[in-house]
Amino acid sequence: MQIVSSRRTTSLYSSAPRLIRSLAIVAALAGASAANGQSAPKPGFVDGIVTNAELVPLPNATVSILGSGVHVTTGENGRFRMSSVPTGRYIFVIHRVGYVALSTTVEVAGPDTVRPSFSLEPITNTLDTVVVTAQARLQRMTEFEDRRHRGLGKFITADDIDKRHAKVLGEILRPVLGVEIIDRGGRQYAYSSRGCPLSIYLDGMRVAEGNLSELPSPGEIAGIEIYTSATAVPIQYINTERACGSVMLWSR
């Protein structure tokens, strides 16, 4: 997969090891593979734009595909382009200094061109903005708060995260009973104490199994809920492929 922007071009095919690793991650995120006896679908294109709330284009915004390890920076017109993107469903993460980070899903159905538009909200300390942000956050975390009050699973709130001053998610999860953090090749993986990888969800979408390295930093997480037994996992998050447990992350 080739990522193209007005600043630079980054190729995923620069080396064989990186190619194998990137395609494996992309396949896991997309959740799609060619049916038996059929050829793989043709790749597509993503031609997008990043703006502020007033639809003014934002240059120097970073757009990345979660789990792929690749990213692109928007040009002066706020636009970016990604070519040769395998067919599938991805989580795009958009960052820019002074704005609230955004994560959303984008579905690529090659060989079509997808034209998404991402709008970022500014970070400000004014009272009105704080109220609006709090309301949006409560909407995203309804499930989290409901299960926390009912005492299901293990829960880590934003206040708990901030008090620990952790740089990576593994440091937050390591003290949790029933969770084992394994460091392997510069990456961190979350396992149940029974030895199987925990399924990872971000804002309700499954993004990885055990791998924490490609996820947002602790400072971008509003809450974490952990289920180390398959019987305790909420029914909508049960992974039938591997009965183990789940870690569910909710972004700020």
Quote the pLDDT of residue 39. 67
Residue 104: closest CA among 85, 83, 118: 118
Tell me which fold the domain 127-251 belongs to: Ferric Hydroxamate Uptake Protein; Chain A, domain 1 (2.170.130)
Q: What token pair was written down for 124?
A: 């400000």
What's the CA gap between 79 and 57, in Å, rounded? Answer: 8
Quote the pLDDT of residue 71. 84
Half-sphere exposure of 22 (CA within 13 A, CB side): 20
Cα of 65 vs its chain's centroid, Å: 8
How would DSSP label each residue in 87-106? Answer: SEEEEEEEE-TTB--EEEEE
The residues, ordered by sequence, that sit 6+ positions from 15 with a Cβ below 8 Å of its Cβ are none
Quote the pLDDT of residue 113. 92
Decide the pairing of beta strands 44-52 and 113-114.
parallel
Quote the pLDDT of residue 179. 92
Residue 236: closest CA among 128, 146, 107: 146
From residue 7, alpha-carbon distances to 13, 59, 85 in Å are 19, 11, 19
Quote the pLDDT of residue 82. 92
Decide the pairing of beta strands 179-184 and 79-85.
unpaired
The whole-model pTM stands at 0.50
Domain 2-120 indexed as CATH 2.60.40.1120: yes
Quote the pLDDT of residue 75. 94
Quote the pLDDT of residue 110. 76
Same topology, domains 2-120 and 127-251? Answer is no
Burial class (CB in 10 A: 0-12, 13-18, 19+), 241: exposed
> How close are the terminal C-alpha atoms of the chain, in Å?
30
Quote the pLDDT of residue 234. 80
| Residue spans per domain, the chain | 2-120, 127-251
Quote the pLDDT of residue 18. 40
Quote the pLDDT of residue 28. 42
Quote the pLDDT of residue 147. 84
What's the CA gap between 169 and 128, in Å, rounded? Answer: 31
Residue pair 143/224 in contact by the 8 Å Cβ criterion: no
| Per-run averaged pLDDT (10 residues), the chain, 252 residues | 41 34 42 51 92 94 83 94 89 89 87 93 61 53 80 89 90 91 86 86 76 82 88 73 77 79
